[in-house]
Each structure stands twice: as structure tokens, then as C-alpha cells.
Structure 1
Amino acid sequence: MGELSTLKPQQLWNFFETICSIPHPSKHEEQLATWICDWATQHDLCWQRDEVGNVIIKKPAASGFEHLKTVVLQAHIDMVPQKEVDSAHIFETDPIEPIIDGEWLTANKTTLGADNGIGMASCLAVLASTDIQHGPLEVLLTIDEEAGMTGAFGLQPGMLEGSILINTDSEQEGEVYMGCAGGVDTNISFPITRCTARTHKGLEIKVGGLRGGHSGVNIHLGRGNANKVLTRILCALQEQNLIELESFNGGSLRNAIPRDASAFIKCDEVLIVKRIVAELAQTIKSELRATDPDLTITVEQAEVTNEVLSFSSLQTFLLAIQATFNGVFAMSQEIDEVTETSSNLGVVATEQDSISVLCLVRSLLDSARFNLQQTIQGVWKLAGAEVVFSGAYPGWAPNNDSAVMALVRTTYEEVFQRKPEVMVIHAGLECGLFKTAYPNLDMVSIGPTIRFPHSPDEKVHIGSVDLYWQLLVKVLEAIPAK
């Protein structure tokens, strides 16, 4: 990890190194939040924690720049905990192990946490700086962004004084974001009945090696979803009445495209089952050869109990999950090459008396999001399941008249002699929720180039971090007067 201190900008990378050393997966950010507050105290910066645990730090303007508008720099504290199957990493206790790989920084078989750790490190680096000519600053570090946007939902009016907010959670250098998708969790509980197995031999069917990724940023890439792949295999076997199902489990987060899934089954015709799975595996691997070249589908002998789903429960469950929409539902009619509406079938988990399914539906349009969530609800209600929607958050509607967006665009062009792309992102930035408590905030989102967030392949382009930092500093120095 000491190698990070050789990268530029050094202060930003030093903070990121510290961030990596302190565990901070979603729901477990307290240790890192405490360190940040202690650091602020040591540097004579005023800070507070709000009722939900967000950290707010204030820094006075540099001498002579007190007349500038107050700017809020914003990042989220938590990271997505995803790891390779063979990794022994425990996110709640173990530090992230960054690895420099040429032009990129990645991690040892886990997510890196560049999303949004680089943005958080840049906020702290601005607070620590003595040579940036900035006006009054506020840094807002929210909790639990990845698992429910708890911090953004809980932010109350009156906590912030700034009129401009710069979100640091974007993931492509050279792009300036002025809008994002909203989303809602679709929580499905499908009741099952069990019976004694009529077949005798136990097998485990495993799907693995998929690339996964961010369910918003990467959803348009057509990557395989382990839950859908496994369902396809089970449906082919069930159609010939070859199997009984004890359990189906796949995915771990609603906002990560699932990379792994497994099912424990009972059967008698083991050779026939293995042949059908092998044949279908070749077909699926061929279909996904471009997006998921490392896909594996295996069948192994396993200990399986005699308590299996009844025939009716099995048939209804497989048909419903097969019919559940996953992927891009619609592309934007107004913005070229931008996903409008999508759904990620993120988690399937079997319990004794029910199977839970969790999808994350996203859309730039609240009406289109509602349409897709109702489509998914219709399938599962016909199947006899309970469907509950939770955690709905609004999209961030683009504002073509945004003064800060125009400022960032102009500053980028002046610094780099090229025009940035002004974009809308199909991911759930917190900006839409900030508008609820602070409707007059003028907001923009920028960041370095991060690839494959929400998966163990996550990596950040080292050179882009320096470019992002240069832009951030110049924007802060160009903020207009009050």
C-alpha cells in the first residue's frame, strides 16, 4: 500500500490509502466516520454528525476569498462489499489491499472502494490544503449510499449553508453529469410448500465466473445475470420432470449484477441431468462469450436433504423468476445512448417456507419506473407472492440552465483545451434526494474514470484521478461571488 504515496496528487492518494485501511462496507461505516471526525478535530475544522450519522465538516474561505459563494463538496462514506469466491476477505474487519496494475489501481480479489473513496479522499484533500484559493466550504459525507441512501434520505434542512453542490460520485473523467436515474427496491416474498423428495441423489448446480458489475452503470453491457442463467438451466430440467429443488441462492446485493448462483437439487437420472446441463452450458457460454468469457457452469455431487419444494411451488417459482424482467427495458428517447429504464434481478435467497427475490428498478422517468415495477409486480402477484416496494428515491432532473454546470464545462475546456461531455447517468446519485431538503441547490457531478464498480474487477485509472483533481481545484477557484 505504501506505493500509493508515490502517485499524484499525493495528498489525495494518502487519504485514499488510509480509507482503504479502515473497513467501511455499507452499514459498517462508523469506524471510518469516527476517524474522519477525529482528523477534522486535529486540524481545527468544525464538524458535526446529524441524526442519521452523516458527517458535515466546514472550512472557512481562504484569505481574500470570503466573498465567494459557499460550496458543498459531497461524497459517500460506504463502499460495496463484493469479492471473488475464493477470497477469505472479511469486509467488516479486513483492510482493502490496493494493487497498482500499470495505469490502473485495483484490489486483491475484492471491490476497491474507489466508488466513492476517491471522491471522499478528494474532499478531505481540499480540507487539508493550504494553497487552494477557495471560498467557504462545506464537506458532506453521507452514510449507507450503496445499500439504501439512508444518509441522503435523512439529511435535514438547515444543516447546510451552501448554494452550490459538487457531487464526486461520477465515474468517467471527461464527462460532466447533470442528471441521474431514480430507483426503487422491489422486495418479493414467494411462499413455498415442501414435501418429501421422491428422488434420491443430491447434486449442486453452480453458475460462476460472470463479470457482474454496477446494476446501473453496467446494465446496458448485456452481461450475464447468474440468477437468470441458473433459472434457465433449472427450467430445462424441470420441463422434463427430472429434478426436485431444495434451494436456490444467488447474488448478494440489489445494486450489483449477480456473478454467482447455486441450486441444490434431488434427482435419479444423474447422467441425463449432467448431459442436459453440459449441452445448455455450451449454448449459454457461446451467447455470453463476449461479455462473460470466464463463465462456469458445473454439476457436482452434494448432500441434499429430503425436504424439497412441492411440484406446484417449484413450477410456479421457476416460471415467475423466468418471466421477471432483467436488463435494459427502454433507452432514452431524448439523450442518445443513455439507458432510460432498467431492472436488476439482484438477489434470490431460499428460506424454509419462502423464497425472497430482490430487484432494483431504475429510470430517468418516475412514470417509467412505476410502469416497470408494476410489470414485475404483476408476474409475482399472479404467482401468489407478496410484493413490497421500498426505498424509492427520485431521479435528478437535468437543468440546462444550471450555472455550476456551465462553470464546470467552461473550466474544463480552459484547463484541458477540449470540451467535456455533458451527460445524464443511469445510476442513483444522491443529488435527487438532496433537492428534497435543499430545492435551490445548484448541483453538478464529476469524478475520475472507474471501471466495473460493484464487482471485484473494480479499478480506477490513476492518471484520470490527477485530471479530476486539477478540474476540482480550478472549479473551486472559479466559483463566483455571492
Structure 2
Amino acid sequence: MSKEILSLEPKAIWENFYSLTQIPRPSKHENAIQDFMMKFGQDLGLETIKDAVGNIIIKKPATPGFENRKGVVLQGHLDMVPQKNADTVHDFEKDPIETLIDGDWVTAKGTTLGADNGMGVAAAMAVLQATDIEHGPIEALFTADEETGMTGAFGLQNDVLDGDILLNMDSEDEGELYVGCAGGIDANITFKYKEDKLEKGYVGFKLYMKGLKGGHSGMEIILGRGNSNKLLFRFLKAATKKYKLRMSSVDGGSLRNAIPRESFAIVAVPERYTEKFLAGVAEYEAIYKSELSAVEPDLAFFAEPTDAPKHVFKNKSQKNLINAIYACPNGVIRMSDAMPGLVETSTNLARVVSEDGVVTIQALLRSSVNSAKEDLGQAIVSTFVLAGGKVKLEGEYPGWKPNMDSPILKTMQEVYNKKYGKVPEIKAIHAGLECGLLGAVYPHWDMISFGPTIRFPHSPDEKVKIDTVTKFWDFLVETLKNIPVK
């Protein structure tokens, strides 16, 4: 069914996007897509470069008569977030994405679609291929590993690109121009624990926190969706006291920039508490459903019998871990004073997994205010240090400060208004676009981010609205025609 999208317009984008869906490209596993892009540029007879960190740069000369225009860098990232539903069989390192047309949208069968940022990459590819588009000098910058650390943007050198204008095509609302974004920092936490042999008289259960929507921890954090790690540990705290629960292992969430949808734990309770424990699970499922009914209609929390584990956390380790996870900040911390409706500061408790005596915990902190980001980081450090954990705040990347006097902003406003009869909205985004990092390497760049309408990125519900791809493409083509002279 994937080939259905080849019938969509504009073919220039959809054919390239189809090619991208056929090449596995999860973050950190991008060799195949990098090789593909190198061959793509070389087959067009264009200067094609792969730098030391895996960025691909393809340069196309200006069309006749446009040699005096400012150079434009078309930018997108090659990797995609690998997320799938629990009942979907898919190997993101080997299998292509199976796309579906669902009414006005293109989505995928049980996995992330990769429209983030396949749509931007496909558009840049289409410009490089085109023989009927007027434009000045073009440089396409396809960055590596954006989703798990912005490695490509961090490693970009300041002497490989000549352009003056950056068009980042990684935004997700057609008709909006983004002029700023939040910065971020990772909290990587380790918590060592000791174990006891499980006493006799206990029975084992596997706890399942499932059915949550998850999503992009920047774009969707404002929606108030459930965090499977926080919900699971909320129950564990109560059950430890009520039912003498002992925890053997936990595995919650997947990626640092995805709101966790599923969390699991192997636990044991005294056999005499079995009925009360199961009733407690049902009670908490009802509580969660009541509290989150508007945003998580498919939430499910349940327990299934399993073999009693041989080892469990020592009581002190279990108590400290549960209290720290319970207390850890999560979600929206503060809304922006400067731009109403925009999140200023947030954090996502993304990953909690135990193995071989160590619990690894990951959170991604975002803020458009550096001091607020630092304050939030120290709150998380304090929480886990008090519990006996170790915290590293690392991978910090800067935000992108809006420039309302940007010449390319004014050009694109005029082009959009002339083409569609309205002025596009000007916004900043709580997600971590690469513009902040790229602008630090090339501080003279005039930058805008835009794209087609994409919903639920970083989750298996990801989809792109078909008619907005046409508007996005037409707007890009018209913008290139109207780039100012040097």
C-alpha cells in the first residue's frame, strides 16, 4: 500500500518522500540514508560532500539570471524517531515504513511515519532535481542525528557553506513562520541499587501502563498527556505501603524526546495481598482514566500473573527510587510571558530502565530562558542526589532568539500574502530546532523555519496533511524566486 502516495501531488515531493520511507533511518543508524543522499547528489552532477559527523551537503548553482541573489541553505535532518505500537512487528534498522492514505492525511501502519523531517528533506531534494524552478545559489544541508542529540548540527564546521539565508523545513504547521525556538539540555541519571532474595510466600506480577498517546516532548507537552513513567511510579508508591509490594525491574519509555507511552514493571506481593493488589490496580486505572479522560481515552493499566522474581530491590533502594521518580518535575513548568500560549519551560521524564544493579533515567529539559533551564536542571539534580543517584546535565544546545526585523521574514510574509491572500502567523516553538546551533556556527545567517502540517510526530500516530504539502511546496518555490539580491 506504500506506493499509493506516488499518486499524490506534488509528485516532486511525494516521489522523494517515498524513496526515504524505503530506507531505514532511525537516529544513530543513518549510514544507508547518507549513502543514498551522496549518490543522489552525485547522480545529479552536483558538488556533494559528507563531512566528519555525517552531514550531507549538496550545492546547486543559480539558474541563469539569478546569480546575484543571496545564497539559500535548504536544511532538514536525515534521521527519524523509531516508535511503534506494541502489537506492530517492525525492525526500524531493516524494514521500510509502510505508508497509508487516510482521508486527507498520510500516515504509517503502526509506526512513526518519518514526515519529521522527511518532508523537509524531500522538498530540498525536489529543488535540487528541478529544471523549471528559478533560484539563486542553493546549498542543501542534510544534518545527521537530530533526534537524539543534534550531532550533525553540533559538528557542522563554519567553512563549508556560503549561503546567507537558512530555510529550515522542520516545522509542523503550514501557514506559520517560526522565528525562534527553545534550547534544551539532557539530564542523564544513574541510580545504583542493591537486591535481596525474594522471600517465600510472594507471587509475581507484571504491571502494564499502556495505551497512552505519547508524542513529541516539545510540541505536545502542552497537551497534558499522561506520562507512563510518572503514572506507573505513582501506583508503585501507594502499593509499596498498602500491599508490601517489592519491585524487581522496571522498563519505561523509549526516547528522550518522546513522551513515554508505555511502562512496565515486574513486582511481587505477599500471596495474602493478591486480591487487594489486583483491586488496587483496577482502582488506579479508574483514577487515571477519570483524570485523563479528555486526553488519554485508550489508557490501560493492568497486572498479569508471572513467575515470582528471584531477586527484588532492597527496601531502601526501592523507597529512594520511587520517591525520586515521584518527585521529579515533569511536564509544563512555566508558560511564556512574551508569547501567550507558548510553553517557556518544560521537562519530560522520558526513560526509566533497570538492569544489572543500575537504574538509568533520562529527562529532556527545554526552555527559551537559559536561567530557567538551569534552575530546572538543578531541581532535578537535587531530587536524585537526595535519593542517592548521580546526575549529569549534558548535551546543552542554545535556543534561537527571534529577529522581527529579519529581511527573509518580510520577504516570505509578502510572498505568502500575495499567493494566498493572508499574512502567515509568526511564531516561536517550544521544540528544539537546529536553528539555534546552526546560527551559532554561522551567526550572519537570516533564518526562518516552516513546513507542512504534521500531527503527532515522535509517535505511531504521526501523520501529514496532504493538501498542506502542496501549499508548502508552492510557497517554497515562490520564495526562492523572490530571494533578495546580494
Structure 2 residue 296 is matched with structure 1 residue 295: no
Looking at structure 2, the residues matched to 56 and 153 of structure 1 have their Cα atoms a distance apart, in angstroms, of 15
Q: 1:345: which partner in 2?
A: 349
Q: 2:462 aligns with which of 440, 458, 461?
A: 458
Q: 1:321: which partner in 2?
A: 325
Contact 1:246/1:304 (8 A) holds in 2: no
Q: 2:232: which partner in 1?
A: 230
Quick check: 200-209 or 400-409, which moved more?
A: 400-409
* 1:32-43 equivalent positions in 2, closer than 5 A: 32-43=33-44
Contact 2:63/2:134 (8 A) holds in 1: yes
Q: Could you tell me how far 1:241 is from its partner in structure 2? A: 4.8
| 2:324 alignment partner AA | A
Q: 2:476 aligns with which of 455, 460, 472?
A: 472
Q: 1:258: which partner in 2?
A: 260
Structure 2 residue 250 is matched with structure 1 residue 248: yes
Report the number of matched residues.
482
Looking at structure 1, the residues matched to 393 and 244 of structure 2 have their Cα atoms a distance apart, in angstroms, of 35
3-state secondary structure, aligned to 1:39 = helix
| 2:478 alignment partner AA | K
Deviations 1:352-381 (A, max 9, x none): 211111000000111111111111111001
Q: 2:381: which partner in 1?
A: 377
Runs of 5+ consecutive residues of structure 1 not aligned to the other structure: none
* 1:412-423 equivalent positions in 2, closer than 5 A: 412-423=416-427
Looking at structure 2, the residues matched to 315 and 42 of structure 1 have their Cα atoms a distance apart, in angstroms, of 60
Contact 2:210/2:263 (8 A) holds in 1: yes
Deviations 1:21-57 (A, max 9, x none): 1100101111011111112111111110111110000
Looking at structure 2, the residues matched to 311 and 38 of structure 1 have their Cα atoms a distance apart, in angstroms, of 57
3-state secondary structure, aligned to 2:147 = helix
Q: 2:132: which partner in 1?
A: 131
Q: 1:215: which partner in 2?
A: 217
Deviations 1:438-470 (A, max 9, x none): 111110000000000000000000000101111
Q: Could you tell me how far 1:305 is from its partner in structure 2? A: 2.1
How high is the TM-score relative to the length of structure 1?
0.99
Structure 2 residue 11 is matched with structure 1 residue 10: yes
| 1:396 alignment partner AA | W
Deviations 1:80-123 (A, max 9, x none): 00000011100000000010000000000000000000000000
How high is the TM-score relative to the length of structure 2?
0.98
Contact 2:176/2:427 (8 A) holds in 1: yes
3-state secondary structure, aligned to 1:390 = strand
Q: Could you tell me how far 1:303 is from its partner in structure 2? A: 2.0
Structure 2 residue 292 is matched with structure 1 residue 283: no
Structure 2 residue 194 is matched with structure 1 residue 162: no
| 1:391 alignment partner AA | G
Looking at structure 2, the residues matched to 284 and 12 of structure 1 have their Cα atoms a distance apart, in angstroms, of 42
3-state secondary structure, aligned to 2:413 = helix
Q: 1:310: which partner in 2?
A: 314
Segments of 4+ in structure 1 off by > 3 A?
none
Looking at structure 1, the residues matched to 307 and 46 of structure 2 have their Cα atoms a distance apart, in angstroms, of 58
3-state secondary structure, aligned to 1:443 = strand
Contact 2:243/2:276 (8 A) holds in 1: no
Contact 2:243/2:269 (8 A) holds in 1: no
| 1:302 alignment partner AA | T
Deviations 1:143-182 (A, max 9, x none): 0000110000000111100010000000000110000000
| Aligned residues with identical type, % of pairs | 48
Deviations 1:122-146 (A, max 9, x none): 0000000111110000000000000
Looking at structure 1, the residues matched to 434 and 206 of structure 2 have their Cα atoms a distance apart, in angstroms, of 40
Contact 1:207/1:230 (8 A) holds in 2: yes
Contact 2:267/2:309 (8 A) holds in 1: no
User: Compared with structure 1, are the counterparts of its residues 108 and 91 closer, same or farther at alpha carbon in structure 2 (3 Å cutoff)?
Assistant: same
| 2:229 alignment partner AA | N
Q: 1:400: which partner in 2?
A: 404
Looking at structure 2, the residues matched to 241 and 22 of structure 1 have their Cα atoms a distance apart, in angstroms, of 49
Looking at structure 2, the residues matched to 240 and 312 of structure 1 have their Cα atoms a distance apart, in angstroms, of 17
Looking at structure 2, the residues matched to 63 and 35 of structure 1 have their Cα atoms a distance apart, in angstroms, of 29
Looking at structure 1, the residues matched to 13 and 182 of structure 2 have their Cα atoms a distance apart, in angstroms, of 29
Q: 1:58: which partner in 2?
A: 59
Q: Could you tell me how far 1:239 is from its partner in structure 2? A: 2.0
Contact 1:325/1:343 (8 A) holds in 2: yes
